[in-house]
Each structure stands twice: as C-alpha cells, then as structure tokens.
Chains A and B, each alone.
Chain A
Amino acid sequence: MIIGIWEVISKLGFFPTFMFPPIIIPNEPGGVTVIGTLIGSIISGQIVTATGTTLVRLLIGFSIAVVLGLTFGFLIARYKWVDDTLGFFVTALQSIPSIVWFPLAIVWFGLGNASILFIVAIGATWTMTVNSSTGFKNVPSIYMDAAKTLGSSGSHLLRTVIIPASVPHIISGLRVAWAFAWRAIMAGELLGSTGGLGYLLDLGRSIQAMDLVLSIMIVIGVIGTIIDNQVFLRMERAVARRYGQTV
C-alpha cells in the first residue's frame, strides 16, 4: 500500500526523479529504482562492507557500554553514596541525546573511529546503568537470606544469586541500550566518519542519489528489526520461560 502510493507520487512527476525515486518500477526505461540500487549495491559489496563496518563498531561500543553499565549499576546498588552521587547524575545524563556529545568527542578523540565508539558507548551506558542497578537493587531478600544461610558470600553470592536474579532486568536493559546504540551510531557516522552505513547515507546525499539513501534506510530498518526480534526478544522470552514468568 505504502509502496503503491510512493510509486504513484514518484511517477506523477511533482519532484525530480533523483529526489523521489520509484521503489520497484523505473520511471523511464533503464532508470533508477530503490530496489535496483539496493540489490546492485549488495552485489557490488558496497552495502555489505558498510554494514560490516557499522556492526563491528556497534558491537565494540555496545560491549563497552554493557561492561560500564553493569559496573556502575552494581556500584549504585551496593553503595549508598554512589547512588546519591552517580545515581542522580546518571538520570540527568540519560536525558542528553548521545549525539550532543559529538562536538566534545571530536575535540577529545578527533574525527574517526574513536569518536564514533565514544558516542555509541555513551548512548547505551546510562540506560544499561539504570536498568542493571534496578535489577541489582530488587534482588528479593529471601534469595539473599537463603544463599547466606547456605554458606554463600562475597563473589560467590554475586555470581550465583545477585546476577542471575537480576537477569530479567539486565536483558530488558540490553534491549533498550541496543536501540540507543543503534540510533547513536547512525548519527555519529552520518556526521563524521569513513565507512559504515551512516557514511554511505551522507555520500548518497552529496551525490544526490536518493535511491541509495532509501536503500540504506531499508537495510537499517531490516537489521534493527532482525536484531531486536531475533536476539533480544528471544533472549527475553527464554529467560522468562526458565524463570517461570508469563510474558
């Protein structure tokens, strides 16, 4: 339906083809279509390489965010004074869109991978922190008491009770953090990087190839959905099943 309307608008000729390219049927013989460009650039490897670059960056940035988020979350849950200081600060930081950090990142790390990683990490860390600290704080005291009387303490208690008990919170944190990271990396790459899907988008804009831009948007949407559904939603469901909660 949406594709149909799009095609009609494109063919009515209100806009030049380069601004409003058709999706499936070319406007003139041999003309551009979004699907054509998408398939073409996948075959030529342009999109594949860019996706690879983006995903690698994302994975690194996201991992940093997860490690930091879990650490902060644990400290906030464990120490009252950290909660009073960092805990309050995190809420404020969380409301700053990560791309706002970009000017700072450029000055600190220069244009390039380091800045992008910084943006991704900072975009996902705070959500992760908030979620994991909620999880750690809400470990039912009955589990802690049971484990303590059975002889557990210290790192064993952390590993066998505190972390597993907060897994449901941590996973929903991962899911939201991933969404934030995904948005952050697009913004970051669009503004300043080489390689990656965001960069390709910017390239499409500068050579006025909206067919390229639209096909990249499709790729971004598809990858985002696949990861959310196939990885995080599944993980959430699997944990819920095992913990005996109903979703």
Chain B
Amino acid sequence: MKVQLKDVHKEFKKEQNQKLQVLDDINFDIKEGEFVSLLGPSGCGKSTILKLIAGLETTTAGEVLVNGKAVNKPGTDRIVVFQEGGLFPWMTVKENVSYGLNLKKMSKTEIEEKTMDGLRMVHLINFADAYPHELSGGMKQRVAIARALVMDPEVLLMDEPFAALDEQTRLVLHKELQNIWRNTGNTILFITHNIREALTLSDRVLLMSTRPGKIKKSFTVQSARPRDPADSVIVDLERRVMAELEVEMEKVLKEEFGDDYSFKTDNLRSSDHRDMGSHI
C-alpha cells in the first residue's frame, strides 16, 4: 500500500472552545500506481484529506501513512498540484519548474535537463522564459503539473487542478494527464467535484458524504483505457454516483435553507422514462 489513512479524524478549533468536526473516521488505501479520485460536494473535507497527506495539516486522531511511514510534515515524496495560482508569479516558467529541483542535491546540467524534460512532457518548451501571468489558465496548470512531475514524487496529489478551466481545455488536459500517468506510472490522488472527470480519469472513485466528511462509497471504474466518456460502464456509473451525490447535496441544502427545502420536487429526470432498468 502506497498511502494508508487509518481512522483519521480532523477537527478545526473555532472561537471559544467550539470545535468543527471536518473529517470523521476516514479509512482508505491507495495502491502503488493507482489513480484514485475523491469526489464530494464542496465543503466535505476533500481538500483537508489532501492537506493531511501532503503534511500541511496534522490529524486530530488516527494516522496517515505513506510507504508505511507516518506523515507529519511536508516532504518532496508527496507533491501537490493546486487548483490555481500555485505558481510563483515572480518566477519564469522555467524557474517555477526547477524550484524544487534546486533544493535537491543535483548538478546544474541535471536540473536543466530535468526541467526541460518536464516542460516537454506538457508541451510548453517554447514558454520556458515566460512569466505565469502571460500564460492561459490551461498553460498554468500544465506548468504546475510539470513542476510536480520533475520531482519524481511517490504520490501526486491534485487538488481540483482543472476546476477553473473551460470545458475544451479540460478535455485536452484529461487526455494528457492520462498519457502522463500511463508513461510515468505515478500514484495519483485526484480531488474533484466533477463526476465525469472523476470517472474518466480514475481506477477508483471514493465518494464522500458531508458534515462531517466521511467516505460514503467506493466505486471501481472497470472500463478500458483510454477512456471514452460515452462508454456504457461510465454512463451507468455516472448515474449511480449522481444518485448518491444528490442525497448529500439535499442534506447540505436543507441545512442551509431549512427542512422544507426539497431538491427533487418538480425535478423529474428526463432520462427516467427511457431507462430500461440498466442500473438494476
């Protein structure tokens, strides 16, 4: 097991001894080379789990193990790709990508080589000397991915990396991420609130429930790669995940707008009459 979470609890202290329980009894494993997605409504603690594995936060109870060793601080074996703005605006693309390498004991030529390899992998070799603000949103995320990959991380943690991108760019990056994953064999934990994104990319999708955050269900995506979003397995899974997620969303909405709020009233799914019972 590459990553193990054992009975992880996390509370945040609010003012005056009030505590907010964010994560409750989280247990899951990620195998070596596996691509796992964490899916859940916003505010369910997905990003907190990622920060725990990255070592940017500590658990209130339970432990996080990477390669069998307990995590208590950030380390270069676990690299995070953030949603946006994770690049340093005062550095060029090249300087951003080589930032972590400069901290390793490496020769200048080796660093240069690895940086260029990383940029080539994400097709940004021509933008090596540009500053992040000169790039489009999709290019920035490519740089962030390159910056993470050159570190040869044991685990790649991705925190909604494509959430801020437009649909077309996202589809392209999905394809490229799958290629990169196939070529490097990285272990990836991918956080998203986009069901289709999770299903297209991952071997396994962990669905989270909210307040406090728990792992509600695990779906294994047994579909051939490269993935096709129109694949019947994925379409079917998508519906099942959506049904589970709706329950969670209703819970959140009821909490926010009162008990009489109903998400499903007047909302007959148009596909239901054409559904020949494929989900049975």
Contacts and interface: CB of A to CB of B under 8 A. Distances in A.
Interface of A: 140, 142-143, 145-152, 156, 160-161, 164-165, 167, 242-244
B85 A150 contact: no
A146 B134 contact: no
Given A145-B54, A150-B79, A244-B134, 18 more contacts: A142-B85, A143-B88, A145-B56, A145-B80, A145-B86, A146-B82, A146-B87, A148-B56, A149-B54, A149-B55, A149-B56, A149-B79, A151-B74, A151-B75, A152-B103, A160-B88, A243-B90, A244-B132
B110 to A, nearest CB: 16
B104 interface: yes
Interface of B: 51, 54-56, 74-76, 78-80, 82, 85-91, 99-100, 103-104, 131-134, 147, 151
5 contacts: A140-B85, A150-B151, A151-B75, A156-B103, A160-B99
A244 B89 CA distance: 7
A145 B85 CA distance: 11
A150 B133 CA distance: 21
Contact of A150 (B51, B131, B147): B147
A165 B87 CA distance: 11
B80 A149 contact: yes
B134 to A, nearest CB: 7
Nearest to A145: B56
A139 to B, nearest CB: 11
Contacts of B78: 149
B100 A150 contact: yes
Contact of A142 (B82, B91, B133): B82
Contacts of B103: 150-152, 156
B56 to A, nearest CB: 5
Contacts of B132: 244
Contacts of A165: 88, 90
A143 B80 CA distance: 11
Contact of B76 (A143, A146, A149, A156): A149
Given A142-B82, A242-B131, A148 B74 contact: yes
Main secondary structure of the interface of B (DSSP, over half): loop
B54 A244 contact: no
Contacts of B91: 164
Given A146-B80, A148-B56, A167 B90 contact: yes
Contacts of B100: 150-152
Contacts of A244: 89, 131-134
Contacts of A147: 88, 99
A127 to B, nearest CB: 24
Nearest to A153: B74
A243 to B, nearest CB: 5
Contacts of A152: 99-100, 103
B82 A150 contact: no
Contacts of B79: 149-150
A150 B118 CA distance: 15
A247 to B, nearest CB: 13
A20 to B, nearest CB: 53
Contact of A151 (B76, B80, B82, B131): B76
Contacts of A142: 82, 85-86
A138 B79 CA distance: 23
A243 B134 CA distance: 10
Pick the 7 closest A-B CB pairs, nearest first.
Answer: A244-B133, A150-B100, A148-B74, A151-B103, A164-B90, A151-B76, A146-B86
A147 B151 CA distance: 13
A209 B156 CA distance: 76
A145 B82 CA distance: 9
A160 B55 CA distance: 21
Given A150-B147, A242-B131, A164 B82 contact: no
B74 A149 contact: yes
